[in-house]
Amino acid sequence: MKRICVAVFIATLASATISGAPQSATSIASAPDSGPVIQIEDVTLFYKVYDAAGGHPTADQLQHDYIDAGSDGLHHLADVRRVTGEAIAKNLAAHPEMYSDAKRCMAVLPRVRERLQTALLKLGQLYPEAKFPPVTIAVGRGKPVAIGSPVSGIQVGLEALCATNWLNPNVEDRFVHVIAHEYAHVQQARSLVDDEHPSVLEMSLIEGAAEFTAELISGEVSNSQFRESTKGRELEIETAFVPDEDKTDISKWLYNSTLEKPGDLGYWVGYRIVKSYYQHATDKTQALREILQMTDPKALLAKSGWYPGIQLE
């Protein structure tokens, strides 16, 4: 009985959140007048496999019946973030609650889609060159929360984003601001995003630009916890950032958070540098274009007017 209820619940949400015919993860939509396309077929497929196995699918079942049978978006997520049946099975055994709890987050998607429509319309107004690929929501190995790129669109790990409560205690807000952040990555210069050996400054500005854009179009950054945790410590944090700018070991500043504890201070420093750039610019439209099309992080930093501890509006 439980399996039937879950299937009906997910199918109902699918009809409410998917706009039009399915698109590949790499397709580019025009201005989102009818709202963003949010594809959740992979979630439906995962829970079909999950429920049929009583919540304990094997690695082979997850690989063959879920990943191999999934969408282009899921295949991209699997390729770039090592999402395999074995990896999911291992995380499922260690954190079964992550997968049982994730279904509750599906309930917010209709409202998330409505709010994203407003945010993306604003992005299109502020940045007419904007591209709007669909969002693929899938189930992964506990990470990443979400990824976005100019080539492959946006993929969201339902279980990871749902479990990362420190991002924002409000699940609806969490999804809106994170997906808005990823839409900014879609607009960024591929040559920079694809850099295999980025510096601390480069990655911080890539993520900081996405945070600033998310705030501009959705009202808040995805890592809103930094507002309180860094308050009064801006000078200390940013003074420590400066000597690390050119290092290619980014682990001190980026991608070092866990489910239980936030990290990624480079996001916040990058956001403040980008915000300083925008606030010092006379032509805001051109400034946003330069932020999203950035290919020279050092040049943007030099023009930003930023310095450690700067007071921003």
pLDDT along the chain (313 residues), means of 10: 36 39 42 75 96 97 98 96 97 96 89 93 95 94 91 92 92 96 92 81 97 97 92 97 97 90 93 98 97 96 98 92
Same domain, 107 and 238: no
Residue 144 sits in the same domain as residue 87: yes
User: Are 59 and 27 in a shared domain?
Assistant: yes
Q: Which residues pair with 132 in a beta bridge?
A: 29
111 domain-assigned: yes
Whole-angstrom distance, CA of residue 171 vs CA of residue 287: 31
Residue 313 is assigned to a structural domain of this protein: no
User: In 228-249, which positions are buried (b, 16+ CB within 10 angstroms) versus exposed (e)?
Assistant: eebeeebeebbeebeebbeeee
Please check whether residue 41 lies inside any domain of the structure: yes
- Does residue 145 contact residue 168 with C-beta atoms inside 8 Å? no
- 167 with 300, same domain: the answer is no
Q: Locate tokens 């978006």: which residue?
A: 73
Pull the structure tokens for residue 300: 């943007």
Residue 312 lies in a domain: no
Q: Determine contact, residues 43/171, Cβ cutoff 8 Å.
A: no
Whether residue 60 is found in the same domain as residue 155: yes
179 and 212 share one domain: no
Residue 243 in tokens: 């000597």
pLDDT recorded at residue 32: 58
**192: in domain:** no
* pLDDT for res 191: 75
Are the CB atoms for 25 and 107 separated by under 8 Å? no
Q: Are 66 and 45 in contact (CB under 8 A)?
A: yes
Contact 174, 145 (CB under 8 A): no
Q: Which two tokens stand for residue 225?
A: 């916890």
Structural contact between residues 280 and 304, judged by C-beta atoms closer than 8 angstroms: yes
The per-residue pLDDT for 214 is 98
Bridge partners of 137? 156
Residues 6+ apart with CB under 8 A from 52: 3
Tell me which residue has tokens 């989102």.
32
Quote the CA–CA distance of 171 and 298 in Å, as a whole number: 36
- pTM, two decimals, is 0.87
One domain for residues 92 and 157: yes
Domain containing 94: what range? 2-187
Q: Are residues 227 and 163 in the same domain?
A: no
Same-domain status, 19 and 141:
yes
Are residue 243 and residue 94 in the same domain, yes or no?
A: no
CB contact set of 195 (below 8 Å; sequence gap of 6+): 202
Q: Same structural domain for residues 126 and 167?
A: yes
- Is-contact 277 248, C-beta < 8 A? no
The answer on 209 and 126 residing in a single domain is no
Overall domain count for the chain: 2
